[in-house]
Structure 1
Amino acid sequence: MNTFEKAAHFALTAHEGQIRKANPIPFILHPMEVAQIVSTMTHSQEVMAAAVLHDVVEDTSVTLEEVRETFGDRVAWLVEKETENKRHNLPAADTWQIRKEESLLDLKNCDDKDVQILWMADKLSNLRSFFRSRLRDGDRMWELFNQKDPEKQKWYYSKILELCDQLQDTTAYREYKILLKAIFSTDAINLQYQTGAFHFEV
């Protein structure tokens, strides 16, 4: 069993029973999709392992030390770079802004391309989910999230695109840019939601 396969088994156990917020599907499908997107930008076993593990510390009882002991320092460090300080003693909606500002600052101050790859893959997976939800539910979809203001969501995802500047030649970056425009373009989404048709200029 290679490093990625070991990490996939670990993540499957850690996320057992969890469901995604916007789409009621098993949570594990998100980190697996993230790993697949990562594989289009690098074949590093460590980065793909970190991709499938990226939510285990933030969203399960797994600790960073457990990740380090099982997968080594590099994988643990990459997972840490994708882990927010959730401030579990406070309502998630109240801490959304500060959590995002902290994580964006951390991304800005890190010039490691693998970190950008992880961020791009994770958030592209989210944007794919957003896009499907907007087609199905229109603006009602934002009610499912801690941050219900689409303008703030647009700010956050736009900043990530800006900061992942080392990835501009990748298909993941281009897809991210397209989905970002599609999701947060009111006219385009209204057209899709009402008629099922979709066209916009990239």
Structure 2
Amino acid sequence: MIEKAKAFAAKAHQGQKRKNSSEDYVVHPIRVAEILEHAGFREKVICAGYLHDVVEDTPYTLQDIEREFGLDVRDLVAAHTEDKSKSWQERKQHTIDTVREGSFELKALIIADKLDNLRSLQSDIKTYGNEVWKNFNAGADAQKWYNQSIVEVMTNRLNSSDVPNYFDEYIQLVKQTFD
């Protein structure tokens, strides 16, 4: 099922590029899935890593995800999909609330996504400097608020022994990027 999810994501994101880059968009969900796999998450969470942006950024629907990958994967993708009809602030607040109240697997998916985004952002800042912020819907201050808010709530209701190592890397990258 993991290879099927990878192929589905590649087809869905075909022709899309990352912000500030000529890099194919699909490398992002591949890296997210690899973070989850390396941390030892179950197959359905890894599949959700591959598919997490499909509904948000392509013509595919949650029904397509459910039909191909089942309800568990669909529910993880649905919980992490932003409603693009809402403002940036509303969408990001919803994600913060989802991280605060979400299941361990949902938190893991979202933090893997945010970690890969910050890794890319750090690389882009080294290449383009502060010009990088012009390609975002919100500037550096809003991005700082968003990422710091995620850090504040991401371990809510988790035992410290359950927290994957990549959560610590995310914390460090938030500090390096925004402090």
Q: Name the TM-score, length of structure 1 as normaliser.
A: 0.82
Counterpart of 2:174? 180
Aligned residues with identical type, % of pairs: 37
Question: Closer, same or farther in 2 for the Cα pair 1:67/1:99, shift >3 Å?
Answer: same
* 1:123 and 2:110 correspond: no
Listed as ranges, the matches of 1:1-202 within 5 Å are: 3-87=1-85, 95-110=87-102, 112-147=103-138, 149-165=139-155, 166=158, 169-185=163-179
- The answer to whether the 8 A contact 1:23-1:129 is kept is no
- The answer to whether the 8 A contact 1:41-1:117 is kept is no
**Divergent runs of 4+, >6 A:** none
Q: Name the TM-score, length of structure 2 as normaliser.
A: 0.92
**Aligned pairs, number:** 175
Cα deviations by residue, 1:134-161 (Å, 9 ceiling, x for unpaired) = 11111111011111x2111011111112
Q: Unaligned 5+ residue runs, structure 2? A: none
Q: Unaligned 5+ residue runs, structure 1? A: 186-202
**Secondary structure at the residue paired with 1:16?**
coil
- Deviation of 1:99 after TM superposition, in Å, equals 1.1
- The answer to whether the 8 A contact 1:35-1:49 is kept is yes
Q: Which structure: larger Rg?
A: 1
Q: Structure 1 counterpart of 2:153, which letter?
A: L
Cα deviations by residue, 1:100-134 (Å, 9 ceiling, x for unpaired) = 11222233222x10001101100000000110011
RMSD: 1.5
Q: Structure 1 counterpart of 2:3, which letter?
A: E
Aligned mates of 2:24, 2:98 — CA distance in 1: 29
**Secondary structure at the residue paired with 1:39?**
helix
